[in-house]
Structure 1
């Protein structure tokens, strides 16, 4: 492990604030993959996600002097990325719409290879179901479930009411469960 790999966030921020290229490189290396995954879940397009990732880190490097709480570095970067992804969707004129009804998937209780294979198949089916949601629903689901952003904050980020977010999440969940209802799993 090189000395730079041992740097904590506070040291990385100080290096970036001093315009140290090694600090910028290490900060990018440390967070780029996780931030990319968050962006990709929202925009679902590799090229667009890569572009937004680059824009995100350009903003991070320009605005790093404004970061006041070192402990929240990753969430600060993620918030910039999510805002950029949402702005990108708005430019594409993605509408946040509405849909219909569902059931619930039971959680797995014990590990067993066969059950694990079934579980992984279900996870893939859920992922595919989320991918087929209208973009507005998909954005709400990804922000709420994968990014753990509260619904009130999602509403603020998207410029829609909390009730709309709640309705879209509920309808997206129903749509996902409806698409899974017809799947037959050998349990």
Structure 2
């Protein structure tokens, strides 16, 4: 059965097709939610809510992007909404998902070699929420400013500004102070 056929059947409330689509995407969407949330149960709840929303809004899916990309955006939005409602800190980042190491040589993301991945994780956690979300979406999830603007309901200019300020703040947090400690 082709994915388009499954989606069409899901639009008609075919429970078997919905279960098939859920099984196909649930693990990947859980990983996305877990990047944002500390607790595994919270991530599972967010994924469940995202699927409920996706199935209820499936008529709005126009196949301009893959279903997975469309669903991922719902999961990211639900995760951010959850964090905002609970005022929780963002979770520790998995080394595999860190794109800081993939930054171009002329990019301002480069940091001193003495800085460890744990230092970067800790510094991102210390960023104010508005910078933290943009940095996470840009670096970890790979969204561009237009997508970040849509997800966070801000302008593209605000996304760029918050990312730029987040970079500066992150660099400040990662700078080795004269007495040999980091913030």
TM-score band (shorter)?
0.5 to 0.7
How many residue pairs align between the two structures?
159
Higher relative contact order (CA 8 A, sep 6+): 1
Within 5 Å, give how 1:28-177 maps onto structure 2: 28-69=22-63, 72-92=66-86, 104-105=110-111, 122-177=116-171
List alignment gaps of at least 5 residues for structure 2: 89-107
Q: Deviations over 1:87-111 (max 9, x none)?
A: 33443468xxxxxxx872389xxxx
TM-score by length of 2: 0.67
8 Å CA contact retained: 1:10, 1:70: no
8 Å CA contact retained: 2:36, 2:79: yes
8 Å CA contact retained: 1:9, 1:70: no
TM-score by length of 1: 0.65
Give yes or no for the alignment of 1:19 onto 2:13. yes
8 Å CA contact retained: 1:103, 1:178: no
- Shift of residue 141, structure 1, vs aligned partner: 1.0
8 Å CA contact retained: 2:73, 2:151: no
C-alpha separation in 1, matches of 2:126 and 2:34: 14
Choose between structure 1 and 2: higher helix proportion: 1
8 Å CA contact retained: 2:109, 2:167: no
Give the CA RMSD over aligned residues.
3.4
Distance 1:45 1:89, change over 3 A: same
C-alpha separation in 2, matches of 1:159 and 1:93: 18
List alignment gaps of at least 5 residues for structure 1: 1-6, 95-101, 108-117
